[in-house]
Chains A and B, each alone.
Chain A
């Protein structure tokens, strides 16, 4: 089975540009998560979806960030406009609901650099 697929793997952009990160979860998983990882702050939960519906977006830093899940096999995380402090590795992860609550499968991450 294919794992969680993220694209792009690497992106370098200039401040002010729009960035769109994409994720395809594992088929059959009904939860999808977006995390951001930096050296300073570790792995932060940004938002998660259940059956394509956003459940908790309290971790989204500000209005410049938005996430969508139009169907069960695709999600996007958009940053507009991007800033240098957004530089991080963004991970998408998916899992089945209970009872396997802790088995979270991560993609390889999208490494974003904003100049």
Chain B
């Protein structure tokens, strides 16, 4: 079983839609969680951290459920520019070993 699993998608949604991605992780000792964004043929970049209490950054909301070992990302009012692959990241092995999920591809169309 992979340490971090995501639905690969693609999710094809119209502009303005709300879309949610989930991610599950296998190591219950994992300490920190993040979402990264990767544009086509580019490098991944940090989108936001994920906290147990949930956190919001504009149209993006991230949540963590430690009991069920899953992480979610909600994007409201989707924009064309949100089209990208969203990577779930789990930190294990102390605070410095970052394990990436395979990513969920989002395509927002007019």
Listed in ascending order, the chain A residues whose CB lies under 8 Å from chain B are 31, 33, 35, 41-45, 48, 50, 55-56, 91, 95, 97-99, 101-104, 106-109
Interchain CA distance A94-B46 in the complex, whole Å:
13
- Besides A43-B103, A99-B95, A102-B34, 8 more A-B contacts (Cβ < 8 Å) are A42-B100, A45-B100, A55-B97, A97-B96, A98-B96, A101-B95, A102-B49, A109-B43
Q: Kindly list chain B residues whose C-beta atoms are within 8 Å of the C-beta of A55.
A: 96-97
Q: DSSP class of A's interface residues: helix, strand, loop or mixed?
A: strand
Asked whether A56 lies within 8 Å of B97 as measured between CB atoms, the reply is yes
Asked whether A45 lies within 8 Å of B97 as measured between CB atoms, the reply is yes
Q: How many residues of B contact A (CB 8 A)?
A: 24
Interchain CA distance A54-B12 in the complex, whole Å:
41
Asked whether B96 lies within 8 Å of A101 as measured between CB atoms, the reply is yes
Asked whether A42 lies within 8 Å of B46 as measured between CB atoms, the reply is no
Interchain CA distance A95-B94 in the complex, whole Å:
14
Chain B nearest CB from A88 CB (Å) reads: 13
Asked whether B91 lies within 8 Å of A101 as measured between CB atoms, the reply is yes
Q: DSSP class of B's interface residues: helix, strand, loop or mixed?
A: strand
> 15 pairs across A/B with beta carbons < 8 Å?
A42-B100, A42-B103, A43-B44, A55-B96, A56-B93, A56-B97, A95-B96, A99-B95, A101-B31, A102-B49, A103-B46, A104-B36, A106-B43, A107-B43, A108-B43
**Which one of B42, B93, B98 lies within 8 Å of A102 (CB-CB)?**
B98
Whether, in the assembled complex, B13 has its beta carbon less than 8 Å from a beta carbon of chain A, the answer is no
Interchain CA distance A42-B36 in the complex, whole Å:
13
Interchain CA distance A31-B100 in the complex, whole Å:
17
Asked whether B95 lies within 8 Å of A98 as measured between CB atoms, the reply is yes
Asked whether B42 lies within 8 Å of A108 as measured between CB atoms, the reply is yes
Interchain CA distance A91-B91 in the complex, whole Å:
18
Interchain CA distance A44-B4 in the complex, whole Å:
11
Whether, in the assembled complex, B32 has its beta carbon less than 8 Å from a beta carbon of chain A, the answer is yes
Interchain CA distance A42-B3 in the complex, whole Å:
12
**Which one of A43, A44, A50, A106 lies within 8 Å of B45 (CB-CB)?**
A106
Chain A nearest CB from B65 CB (Å) reads: 18
